[in-house]
Amino acid sequence: MDITYYLAGLLSGVSVATFFIGKELYRYYIKNKVQEKKLRRMLKLNDKIKKSYSIETNGMMK
């Protein structure tokens, strides 16, 4: 009887720990995903600015 309670407690403890660890990993994943999107957006904007600047400077040189 004691082993049954021990196994039930162990299983529920592992389940709760797994839940919280998974929750933190998911939070990290979402934060990382949002940061990657922001970084890609900034790089794209930077490329557009560089391209328009180079077009303006080439146009002024002629």
pLDDT tens digits for the chain (62 residues)?
789 999 999 999 999 999 999 999 999 999 999 999 999 999 999 999 988 888 777 766 55
Overall residue count recorded for the chain in this entry: 62
At residue 10, the 3 state secondary structure works out as: helix
The predicted structure's pLDDT at residue 57: 74
Residue 62 C-beta-side C-alpha neighbours within 13 Å: 5
The predicted structure's pLDDT at residue 51: 87
